[in-house]
Amino acid sequence: MVIPIYDDNPLVFKTRPYVTWLLIFANVAIFIFLQTEALSDAQQSFARALTFKPSHVGHGTTMTTGQTWIPWELTLVTYMFLHANWFHLIGNMLFLWVFGDDVEDTFGRIRYLAFYILCGVAGGLAHYFSAPNSQLPLIGASGAIAGIVAAYLMVRPCTKVWVLVLMSFPIRLPAYLVLGSWVLLQIWHVMFPSDGHTSWWTHIGGLAAGAMLVIVMRKPGVKLFECYQTAAERKLPPTKPGVVRVDTP
């Protein structure tokens, strides 16, 4: 098992990732206030109403015990801010923390937020088309996170990423190995499904949306599949004697 913990990518357009921080805060806050065990029946009922259920598509609203009504179209957004447990939440937020800031810089704050939501919606729709009659609730930011993975892989494929192997051994690897293997794993699970509670099609939908949206939504001047990280790796031409070049990351 490989877990990303840090990337060392100095970007030219680096800005503070306020949207990424806000998304992490929102996911954690919603989990604490709506999904921990010490909640009232009304709070738990409201949280269940925010999940996305394919069987409710086309029926106008979704309802849970306690007469909580939410339009199913809205649940395509709300579901991505709910998580099953702390492990589920921390796993998604770790990917968002490591890769989200660079992707936010790639788009700009407003477009990045739209990108995140659209990838999550695409993941929910992919889940619907894979199981249109399912009554099981879909939750988790995995679709949106998958979109971020796709965008990062296309914009910064050679960035070095520190990962923990088997939860113990830190190794520094290029992003195309770390994230490329993650993408292949999602495809494997879709082709050879096994019993479980993970909606692999949600990941595929988010990946596909992220790959397409980064082409049209990224900032002008941001190149795809750019494989350098530092000025030295760009092989800048030598300067004349006595001339100092200042290259700002």
DSSP summary character for residue 128: H
Residues 139, 51 contacting (CB under 8 angstroms): yes
The pLDDT score that the predictor gives to residue 193 is: 80
Domains with residue ranges and CATH for the chain: 2-228 (1.20.1540.10)
Please compute Rg for the chain using Cα positions: 20
Considering only the C-alpha atoms of the chain, give the largest distance between any 2 of them, rounded to a whole number of Å: 78
Strand 2-7 and strand 160-165: the pairing is: antiparallel
The pLDDT score that the predictor gives to residue 106 is: 92
The pLDDT score that the predictor gives to residue 195 is: 65
pLDDT in tens, the chain (249 residues): 678 888 886 555 567 899 999 999 999 999 988 876 666 667 777 888 899 999 888 765 555 545 557 888 999 999 999 998 899 999 999 999 999 999 999 999 999 999 999 999 999 999 999 999 888 999 999 999 999 999 999 999 999 999 988 767 889 999 999 999 999 999 999 998 876 788 999 999 999 999 999 999 999 989 998 885 444 444 444 444 444 333 333
The pLDDT score that the predictor gives to residue 60 is: 58
The pLDDT score that the predictor gives to residue 147 is: 98
CA distance 117 to 102: 17
Residues 143, 117 contacting (CB under 8 angstroms): no
